[in-house]
Chains A and B, each alone.
Chain A
Amino acid sequence: MLSELTDDIILNILWKIEDDPRDWARLSCVSTKLNSLIHDFCWKNKTSLIIPSQLLVSSSQDHSLHKLPFCCPGLVHAGILFNTADSPEENQHQQSITSSSSTPSCSLVQQSNECSTYWSLYDDLYHDTLYADSESNHQQEQEESKENTIRTGVVDVPPESKKIKVNGSLSSHLATGKWTLSREQGSKLLARQFRDDCLYVCDWPGCVHLEEKRKYRVFRGVFMNFKKTRVWKTVNDCSNRRKIDLPCAFCSCNHTWDLHSAFCLRRGFGYHDDGEPVVRAFVCDNGHVSGAWTDVPMYT
């Protein structure tokens, strides 16, 4: 029945569902005709309104730029749940997140080849549903193993009190807040010596996540011509200790660089009493940035 409709009729319908980018993402997985119409007309028009033109021109082949304005990386990819001094349980928890997120996308990609190069937020929504199930299974396994083993010299704290109680999605999801990117937001993040690097970050406040401990304003962004930036030179020249196994939310990079410990972020943000940094940001090899702001502690 779709083949009977002319392109202009289909476009008329597509423009009526532009409010939620997930609908376009799902539709583009349905057929090649819809995929080309959405990609060539809808996304192009939409991104030209929210992404600065110089960034669009320099990243014309980067399909992840279609995802970045709308997709919050979530607590996982913003590194909030990733702790370099974490316990074995939290390591396992992190691994279970990344492994559960990779499996469903394979089965969804098999639906149509177009999906492998064209992102669908449907994939991320599917991940969220599966993650909820896998998390509850993992908690069960943890409890069972704790009953069986007695470890000497270690205080066994119940997992519930150690885990951060989370509201909303842990992995990537449709971002709340503004979907526009600006260089001004990016420049607020970087240290002075990197002021010539063009970092575009979503407008304030990003996607706000209210957690038990504190409020996180999760942001996403991208460097223009990342491999020519001073930030890239800095993270690349330094030793591999700043490269971490935190996958990018926007492309297939399996690791990212911690901009905070590479001294790329503006000085003076400081830390909370529990050692958590006030601002954190991670960048992948393609220049995609995920991170989070927290409120500056009132009493230091």
Chain B
Amino acid sequence: MSPGVASAEKQAEILKDQGNVYFKKERLSAAIDAYTEAITLCPLIPVYWTNRALCHRKRNEWERVESDCRKALELDKDSVKAHYMLGLALLQSQQYREAVKQLEKALELGRGGKPGTYMVEEIWQELAKARYTEWEQGALVRKRQQKDLKELCERLLKEDCERRLTIADVNTAPVKQSLVEIDGVIQLDDDEFSGDENKSDDPPNEEITKLYHQHLETLTQVFDKAGAPDRPVEVPDHLCCKITMDIFRDPVITPSGVTYERATLLEHLRKVGKFDPVTRTPLSSDLVVPNLAMKEAVQAYLDDHGWAYRTY
């Protein structure tokens, strides 16, 4: 290896360290310059790119954050910071679907390391926020469209009912009379003139009105059902931790069969006592098991009820 190449790498590292110092002192322009020089010397080191991206993030220069992160990911597709900041940048440009994907990737990779680091918590918060905003956007549009359509249908049904009633009134003005053939001559059938037979059915008006009301009721039910997932309600009990009362993020189960939020249970065991919070049977943290099926159940609920991300 020629001395020239070695010193370029060393120099780049020195520049990076300089940049870190500037960053800590909030001298972002200087930090950016230092990282940029390092990149020029050694463009294949992902950390230089993500460090610079972090500076741009502090200055809300989101387009630059995006381009630096994408470059970093070309060099290291498993960079937690790159996925994370790319996700944040995409949020800024309201590309929610993509943003969520990046943040999910960052969370997945971040969790591979030691659990409970600040980074994972921060990523989680941003991810929840992104999913909430994505849901909110869609929900507003759906609500408005459904409201407009429902009101239009209610009006049209009413007008349709009134039209039918008018037609019915016209049709029943004269009592219908039957015609019979007597001795070869067609004449009115006096025997059927009593009118009782006509009254054995519901008068057409009542039939029409009854049908109208039934349609209205079905309409209300249908629109209620269609709009229900978008209406915030209480998250079902079985999806919530008995201690936090919030929807599970990382559910674990104890030998007693009760499921808790992992972090909350571990804290309970550390600070309160080594027993199951609900059943009070003796319990140590090594007996705690991840409730994978419940984790999927929670995700399925969130997929359909995006408003529940707000409590995260």
| A and B found bound together | no
Interface residues of B (CB under 8 A from A): none
